[in-house]
Amino acid sequence: MARVTKIPQMLNFFIYISITLCCFTSLASANVDLDEDNWTQILEGEWMVEFYAPWCPACSALGPAWRELSNRATTKKMAMRTAAVDVTKSPGLSGRFVVTALPTIFHVKDGEFRQYKGPRDADSMETYVERARWRQAEPLPSWKAPHSFQMGVVAHFFKLSQALRSVHTMLMDTYGLPTWGSYLIFAIATIFIGAFLGLILVCVIDLLYPPRRAERVAVTRAEAEQRLKPDRDTRHSDDEQELINDDLLDDADNLNDSDEEKNSPSDTSEDDKDKNKPAEGAGDSKAKQEVRKRRPRKAD
């Protein structure tokens, strides 16, 4: 009878042991949940990383295959480990990895990132890792690597956008603002923030590159007159040259008039006509002298 009573106790013991082993096995095979604080651990070793969202139907369909892959990696003691990222909790990581579709799977090997684009069943993903088929794909370039500086900046922008989305939801749900009211508040805040940042930028530029001021040189009156003297002399010489030119023109006009008077028909006429009309020739020459106009001279 004592042996019969010990049988249920032995069954209960085995049941408890089985449950404990299952719990430990499930914990060991569970994915590593990555976030903004612990994601850098995938830079060492070999990893398969899944990006998912709780509301994504395709992510729910991938769940059983992903858990199977994690269990196989544990039972076969593979060097590869699995991890998962909830993009609703870690939007910065989705921006850092430039995740545009869900679910997205990355293979990471010693800091080299490759996006897995094969079949999404446990056998295909296991073969991809064991037979090193990831070598056939080109890794992400250095400027696009998640641990680069520029992708870190992109991650901060994603986190900022998520924070603004949360504020927008709070304004509509908690305070009952309409959609256009929330947008108006964001627009006014953007204008003021942009003006403030522009002012800071101008101040920094003025501090680093101050504007050059024109240097004023003191000049005495005597030096100023001495500097202006060559200009005055030049103007005076130009005026004198113009006067000389005017005098030469006048002299040339007088010579031309005298030549015309000598060669006029009245001089080449017969002697009798010249003797009979001396007064008319004299009167014509005087008339020509009075009619002739001289060029006006410029005032000194």
Mean per-residue pLDDT for 21-43? 69
- pTM above the 0.75 mark? no
Q: Is the pLDDT higher at 247 or at 132?
A: 132
Residue 282 lies in a domain: yes
Indicate whether 137 pLDDT > 80.
yes
Number of domains in the chain: 3
Range of the structural domain that residue 178 is part of:
151-208
Mean per-residue pLDDT for 91-104? 90
Residue 245 lies in a domain: no
Residue 223 lies in a domain: no
Indicate whether 280 pLDDT > 70.
no
Whether 130 and 158 map to the same domain: the answer is no
Whether 163 and 266 map to the same domain: the answer is no
Give residue 275's pLDDT.
46
Mean per-residue pLDDT for 209-236? 67
Would you call 22 a catalytic residue per the annotation?
no
Whether 25 and 53 map to the same domain: the answer is yes
Among residues 22, 23, 59, 203, the one annotated as catalytic is 59
Indicate whether 271 pLDDT > 90.
no
Indicate whether 59 pLDDT > 90.
yes
Whether 37 and 142 map to the same domain: the answer is yes
Among residues 22, 23, 56, 203, the one annotated as catalytic is 56
Give the separation between CA 180 and CA 182, rounded to whole angstroms: 5
Residue 105 lies in a domain: yes
Q: Is the pLDDT higher at 89 or at 225?
A: 89
Q: Among residues 124, 113, 56, which one has the least CA distance to residue 83?
A: 113
DSSP letters along 103-123, please? SEEEEEETTEEEEE-S--SHH
Give the separation between CA 163 and CA 186, rounded to whole angstroms: 13
28-38 residue pLDDT tens? 445 799 998 89
Would you call 59 a catalytic residue per the annotation?
yes
Q: Among residues 176, 203, 171, which one has the least CA distance to residue 186?
A: 171
Last residue of a domain, one of 98, 122, 148: 148
- The length of the chain is 300
Whether 140 and 179 map to the same domain: the answer is no
Give the separation between CA 122 and CA 105, rounded to whole angstroms: 13
Whether 131 and 257 map to the same domain: the answer is no
In whole numbers, what is the pLDDT of the chain averaged over residues?
Answer: 76
